[in-house]
Structure 1
Amino acid sequence: MKNASFDNSDKNETPAKYTQRFQALFNYASIGILLTDADGNIILVNDFALKQFGYQFKELVEKKIEILIPPRFHLKHEKYREGYNEHPKSRHMGIGRDLHAIKKDGTEFPVEVSLSHYRNDEGAFVIAFITDITERVNAREQIIKLNNELEKTVELRTQQLADTLHQLELSKDEQEIILNKEKELGELKSKFISIASHEFRTPLSTILSSIYLINKYQAADEQPKREKHIHRIISSVNMLTDILNDFLSLSKMEEGKMQVRISEINIKELVDEMSDDIQTILKPGQTIKYEHHGNEIGFLDPSLLKHILLNLLSNAVKFSHDNGSIEIYTFINERNVELVVKDYGIGISKEEQQHLFERFFRAGNAMNIQGSGLGLHIVGRYVELMNGNIEFLSELDKGTEFKVTFNYL
């Protein structure tokens, strides 16, 4: 290798001694050293590199440097080599990338490579210093693994702590919910006693007085009077039944025992039947008009739908005047079912409309009309159970319109 220079003050040493020392430095170095020409052909390999790669000297000399690189990197390496030859300088190779070499037996291992270069009258040459960093990489991977395990352990412990705190919060919240439920139940019982004592008094008094009067009307020509009081008894019993049913329905919903059973029903027939049943409670001169549009078959809970319709119709009757008209409309298509109940009665003031679906709410202009204040609250809950929506329009002294929509999609 020409142009190699050594700073040696002993002028009596011969070139042979220089060569001997250079060969010792080359062959006994504890790092792999390769010398290649500008075309990437291997010129020299030291013993350490031969042991690193498992080759004999004659197996590598005059072979391309790519023999020591995994095949998948050959094309890229050739481009890197050409680029280095154009702008040669001493540097580390592959900064920021993981470099791999391949042994004779096909085993790959991670390496670090430092490049240097020189030129003489024979041409340009590149010197590669190759370090096997397998142990370093393994140690780094072990550290990464330990760090990941530590992070997972910390994360697990943190999550366990968070879960424990969450459970404590839930326990606290559950206790608060239970206390609130007990409080609501107490209020419900108190409200029930208050309403029962008030609302039951009138129909019970009516029943007792009518029974007493029926007993007085013995003559045959007094049959119309008896029928009048019999009708009053039936109406009062129905009123008591409605109030009790409201409380039972509310109790079931509060306890989570209300079940929805969707089935195929003929909604037009159901509304026709309900319209006939409601005739017994109509005030003098009141009429019910019913129009249906679209398919007759729908998929809802028939029991809940009956209760919704019965409540809306009962309210329309109660809060309408004598000779008033009550209108029912049903619309059914492949997407939804719509039910509309409209009256021209006393209506609800704008100030009170926001409270309409609250438990025990009674509008100011309806205090003298029998009722538990639970009907519309239960209707709203039933509509929700069937994934429906209820809305209304009302104007004081002009009437109220309720629209219930059940969507299939």
Structure 2
Amino acid sequence: MTEKSALLFAIIENAIDGIITIDERGLIESINPAACALFGYSIEEVIGRNVSMLMPRPDKDQHDEYIARYQRTGSPHIIGTGRDVNGQKKDGTLFPFRLGVNEVKYSGRTIYAGFIHDLSREKEAEAKILHYASQLEKLVEERTVSLQKSVTELQAAKETVSKSLEKEKELNQLKSRFVSMASHEFRTPLSSITLSASLIERYKLQSDDTNVSKHVSKIKNSVGNLTTILDDFLSLERLEAGKIETNFTKFDVVKLSEEITEEMQLMAKKDQNIIYQHTGLHSTVLLDQNLLRNCIVNLISNAIKYSGENTFIEFNTELTSTECIVTVRDNGIGIPETDHKHLFEPFFRANNTGNIPGTGLGLNIILRYVNLMGGKVNFSSLVNQKTVFTLNFPQ
């Protein structure tokens, strides 16, 4: 073997791609190690056999026809590069490769050299890319639909919110105007009525005119009820507008409670008695005095309103090392158990209140005031037996 032939042989033997040569009948004359590795055969197993053994059907059957046609016409079927086909390994599995075929004139005869480039990895990568692309397209499509839906919903929500805000703004303006008007327009004549009623009582004839006293009492009660209603509406408006700010100061809760007891006793019914008692070694608390006063006055007012004559209203304060406890107890009409869960809702009144006047705002206002001071409200009640409200404030 010449040096040139040896070099050519070494190149073929060490080539990365498979190389197979066949004769005019399609019989394999040579095969390099790379081709043997691709198809899983040894050299001895393929030399002298028809190359169609390396092809799957229907290529195998078609190749025999190509050979027969070549023998009849003298024209080969495949010459050139770049044709992707499938090969069949010894174990029957298939793999893709790119086939290039050259016609070679050698020693007065024609042979065909096939160059085989394995495409297995490329095809796997291509399949993965196509799979990922398909998934990505599907995901993009789903996300696009979802985004379009979200945009539509957001637009609808925006329009709804805009309408709601506009409506709420109008309602708030109307409410503020009503509250301001009510506060101004009602308080002036109510003050006049109160003054007139006081003067009637003061300058009436010294005789025991029971009718005058009766009507004076009615005027005072009506004025008191209207004033309470206005105060409730004003308090609710300020709470809704966020205008209530707590002002925590240290003060004597016993002194405050005694003042409230004295004031509320004047509003009590005939032979109703408010009994105040304090428990604890100290009496100084850190709370908002105005808010606490409002809560206590409201609770005692309710006790007076919903209790009959000749009854006792118990009003207690207790100061421990950790909390301040305020309790108001009456023995009036009580609260039906079915109404307990709605008791602190705005404008709600128990079913057994009948013609007793009220706005249904008092307890809601108390709850919100107590919450502003960081406290809690608890109550218990039995119809026609008792009602007990307890306010607990941390100290």
Which of 301, 305, 321 matches 1:318?
305
Q: Secondary structure at the match of 1:281?
A: coil
Amino acid at match of 1:248: L
Amino acid at match of 1:394: S
Amino acid at match of 1:319: Y
Amino acid at match of 1:318: K
Alignment CA distance shift 1:27-1:185 (3 Å): same
**1:94-133 mapped onto 2 (5 Å cutoff):** none
Alignment CA distance shift 1:353-1:181 (3 Å): farther
**1:100-249 mapped onto 2 (5 Å cutoff):** 162=150, 165-176=153-164, 179=167, 211-212=199-200, 214-217=202-205, 219=206, 237-249=223-235
Is contact 2:193-2:219 (8 Å) kept? no
Deviation of 1:163 after TM superposition, in Å, equals 5.4
Question: In 2, Cα distance between the equivalents of 1:164 and 1:331?
Answer: 59
Question: In 1, Cα distance between the equivalents of 2:261 and 2:336?
Answer: 28
Amino acid at match of 2:330: D
Which of 345, 350, 356 matches 2:332?
345
Q: Secondary structure at the match of 1:403?
A: strand
**1:356-371 mapped onto 2 (5 Å cutoff):** 356-371=343-358
Is contact 1:342-1:402 (8 Å) kept? yes
Is contact 2:377-2:390 (8 Å) kept? yes
Which of 271, 278, 283 matches 2:264?
278
Aligned to 1:259: 244
Deviation of 1:154 after TM superposition, in Å, equals 9.2
Which has the larger Rg?
A: 2
Is contact 2:274-2:315 (8 Å) kept? no
Question: In 1, Cα distance between the equivalents of 2:373 and 2:349?
Answer: 25
Aligned to 2:359: 372
Q: Deviations over 1:263-308 (max 9, x none)?
A: 2433624434433332322333513222334765555433222211
Gaps of 5+ in 2: 18-120, 182-187
Q: Deviations over 1:351-408 (max 9, x none)?
A: 4444433444444544343433322232233334445432321112212111233468
Amino acid at match of 1:247: F
Deviation of 1:334 after TM superposition, in Å, equals 6.6
RMSD in angstroms over aligned alpha carbons? 5.9
Deviation of 1:167 after TM superposition, in Å, equals 4.7
Aligned to 2:380: 393
Is contact 1:388-1:405 (8 Å) kept? yes
Alignment CA distance shift 1:389-1:168 (3 Å): farther
Q: Secondary structure at the match of 2:266?
A: helix
Is contact 1:262-1:299 (8 Å) kept? no
Deviation of 1:177 after TM superposition, in Å, equals 6.2
Q: Percent sequence identity over matched residues?
A: 29
Q: Deviations over 1:57-78 (max 9, x none)?
A: xxxxxxxxxxxxxxxxxxxxxx
Aligned to 1:268: 253
Gaps of 5+ in 1: 1-13, 31-132, 194-199
